[in-house]
A = this chain, B = another copy of it.
């Protein structure tokens, strides 16, 4: 059974709109008068985490990627649960956990600790309260909307290169990504669709367009990148955790963002870059592992 088949089977099992949340998005749950947002991400040593990583950075990233999922829903974090596999450097792990929870004022609610037998893995569940309803999803982009992204793409890529190849660059963008919680909450009332850029801008544009049943026509030169010489890679590298969203083109945005394209009616594929159609076969980003 391939990963794609497994996820398709999970979606069939969920059998409802929340199925979209599987493996790529946060779940939205109505409870009484509240709208909750739930997300769960797992990091595996050697797959998502560089060998020799400081466990404090692992803890930071593990929490930050989940908070980024809440940010894209305009949700306020209520807390996290941690699934922790014990091992070397656990005191550093605690230190990083303390730092990220303090930085974003998020309570540690509970979790589980286990002994492992091989490469370690860690999971975090984050729960948040939606501050704007309807909760932004990937599925609301409409023809005529502008396509926007916060910040700069590729900073995490350069940080990764500095860690692995000795290049000069700020490693914090890769090691300690900043979930854009305040920005997501400010944007939520204004967007028609929103998600965080975790797996590469082009791939995430393709996913947003697919969920919305539209095509995103991007203007490559308008996309801010961290390294002009590696522009193509910057558009395909993940881990930046910027917010990608669509909104009516004349919206007065409450957050600084770059307009990088326009939503057009579905036109063959889901993505065009400078007029040229792109598909998944073109290597749009990082495919989940």
Contact = CB atoms under 8 A, between A and B. Distances in A.
Contact of A110 (B38, B90, B91, B112): B38
Given A97-B13, A123-B42, A111 B81 contact: no
B118 A117 contact: yes
A287 B45 CA distance: 26
A110 B22 contact: yes
A123 B111 CA distance: 10
A26 to B, nearest CB: 7
A64 to B, nearest CB: 15
A164 interface: no
30 contacts: A3-B86, A6-B90, A9-B90, A9-B94, A10-B111, A13-B97, A13-B101, A22-B111, A23-B110, A23-B111, A23-B113, A29-B79, A31-B31, A31-B129, A33-B34, A36-B36, A38-B79, A38-B127, A39-B81, A41-B112, A42-B83, A42-B85, A43-B114, A47-B115, A47-B116, A116-B119, A117-B119, A118-B118, A123-B123, A125-B125
Interface of A: 1, 3, 5-7, 9-10, 13-14, 16, 18-19, 21-23, 25-27, 29, 31-34, 36, 38-48, 78-79, 81-86, 90-91, 94, 97-98, 101, 107-119, 121, 123, 125, 127, 129, 288-289
